[in-house]
């Protein structure tokens, strides 16, 4: 399966571009595509064979288990104690979703993930790395780094954070919900009232 970078830049790499810290999320995305409900914002999404079918708790638990398994793979080769602790925290947080799965996925849409702000390579420092895989961004000639719209403006490799966002809809670092549109409060227009008073 092509990576997000390969899709976005219409390229195909013969070999993996990174060290063994990269995980293969093909099974995760295959299951996610089966469970994902087509939204009105994405008319091009392929509808399910049965329009009344919804993901079962067993299906959603399996999706979280796949994500947890890939994080455990990264955990076994964690280069620092901080990375190991961070991954343990993410792995543990998925336990609730595995043992008591939601009836529908609360994660962000693919459209949301595709629209995340890309970080210019020039804005990255030599030692900046992804909190999930811990590989310095600039080691990758074709790095694709995104900045989440959370308060901390946390940055991740898109390939690392994408599965988390699609399944959980939160920033992995601060857990702020980022995948849902925030409602804009409607402000009453007070000029009309003032204008009416002027002519009274």
CA atoms within 13 A on the CB side of 62: 13
Write down the pLDDT at residue 184: 45
pLDDT at position 161: 95
Q: 3-state SS of the chain: helix, strand, coil percent to 5?
A: 45, 5, 50
pLDDT of the residue at 20: 54
| Residues making up the chain, counted from first to last | 200
pLDDT of residue 122: 94
Residue 158: predicted pLDDT: 93
pLDDT (0 to 100) of residue 168: 93
Provide block-wise average pLDDT over 10 residues at a time, the chain (200 residues).
61 54 80 70 50 74 93 93 96 92 85 94 94 92 93 94 94 90 52 51
Residue 84: predicted pLDDT? 96
Whole-number pLDDT of residue 15? 53
| CA dihedral sign of residues 128, 17, 113, 94 | negative
pTM: 0.74
DSSP type of residue 48: P
């Amino acid at each position: 399966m092509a990576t997000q970078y390969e899709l976005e830049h219409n390229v195909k790499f013969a070999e993996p571009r990174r060290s063994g810290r990269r995980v293969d999320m093909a099974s995760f995305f295959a299951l996610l595509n089966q469970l994902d409900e087509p939204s009105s914002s994405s008319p091009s999404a392929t509808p399910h064979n049965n329009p009344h079918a919804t993901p079962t708790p067993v299906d959603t638990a399996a999706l979280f288990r796949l994500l947890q398994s890939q994080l455990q793979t990264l955990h076994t080769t964690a280069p620092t104690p901080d990375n190991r602790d961070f991954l343990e925290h993410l792995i543990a947080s998925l336990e609730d979703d595995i043992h008591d799965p939601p009836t529908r996925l609360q994660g962000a849409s693919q459209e949301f993930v595709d629209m995340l702000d890309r970080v210019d390579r020039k804005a990255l420092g030599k030692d900046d790395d992804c909190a999930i895989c811990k590989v310095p961004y600039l080691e990758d000639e074709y790095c694709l780094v995104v900045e989440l719209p959370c308060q901390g403006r946390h940055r991740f490799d898109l390939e690392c954070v994408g599965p988390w966002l699609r399944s959980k809809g939160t920033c992995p670092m601060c857990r702020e919900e980022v995948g849902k549109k925030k409602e804009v409060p409607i402000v009453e227009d007070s000029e009309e009232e003032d204008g009416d008073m002027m002519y009274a």
